[in-house]
Amino acid sequence: MSNVYTIAVVVGSLRKESINRKIALALADLAPASLKLEIVEIGDLPLYNEDIDGASPPAAYSTFRQRVSSSDAVLFVTPEYNRSVPAPLKNAIDVGSRPYGKSAWSGKPGAIISVSPGAIGGFGANHHLRQSMVFLDVPCMQAPEAYLGGAGTAFDESGKLSEKVKPFLQSFINAYGQWVEQHKKV
């Protein structure tokens, strides 16, 4: 019997009905049985400030760190803002990486899918986020790369995933399942 891996899904958009959140939920539905995707919310994280992150850090910091630490792997689903990641996502990365030497991210197999209504599918955000993952010791899946452009048409009016997008997402999440299996630290 194969293992079931818990995947911390970090969505870079805070909007409740964001396309990125919808893609994250679609990936959870398409995921192989070996992956259990769970969105870890980032919207209630105070801006990272070492002054408040001492002996008694904010509860939101502790909860977030625990959820990421207890996961087996991490998946980022993000839009692009100004050729980079949204500020709340960068803040979540910073919160999870502290205190120094106790990063919640370290060693977790990762993947990134950038989602945008624009033509280049969040390419800048995707690659900017990869730079942080290198430093944080998150081995990121290199292929298939996942940039979902034209994402405004990924769902029909009833909220159903487009049959044009579904094979791409299925291929991505299947490859990620294999990546996690190969790179999960025991």
Who's near 39: CB < 8 A, 6+ residues apart?
Answer: 9, 10, 11, 21, 24, 25
**Contact by Cβ (8 Å): 120, 149:** yes
| Strand 35-39 with 147-148, pairing | unpaired
What does the DSSP 8-state code read for residue 157?
Answer: T
How far is Cα 118 from Cα 78, in angstroms, rounded to an integer? 13
Place 186 in a pLDDT band, splitting at 50, 70 and 90. low
- Percentage of the chain exceeding pLDDT 70: 98
User: What is the average pLDDT score of the chain?
Assistant: 95
CATH number, domain at 51?
3.40.50.360
What is the chain's length? 186
**Contact by Cβ (8 Å): 45, 124:** no
- Better-predicted residue by pLDDT, 185 or 78: 78
Range of the domain at 120: 5-183
pLDDT digits (tens, 9 = 90+) for 38-90: 999 999 999 999 999 988 999 999 999 999 999 999 999 999 999 999 999 99
Which amino acid does the sequence have at 183? Answer: H
Q: Which residues of the chain form beta strands (DSSP E)?
A: 5-11, 35-39, 73-78, 110-115, 147-148
How far is Cα 128 from Cα 85, in angstroms, rounded to an integer? 7
Which amino acid does the sequence have at 22? Answer: K
Q: Scanning the structure block, which residue is given the tokens 């190969």?
A: 182
How far is Cα 69 from Cα 174, in angstroms, rounded to an integer? 23
* pLDDT for 1 beyond 50: no
pLDDT of residue 120: 87
Number of separate domains in the chain: 1
Helices and strands, counts by H and E, the chain: 5, 5
Report helix angle 19-30 to 166-183, nearest 10.
Answer: 70
Reported as half-sphere exposure (CB side, CA atoms, 13 A), residue 138 has a value of 27
pLDDT of residue 54: 87
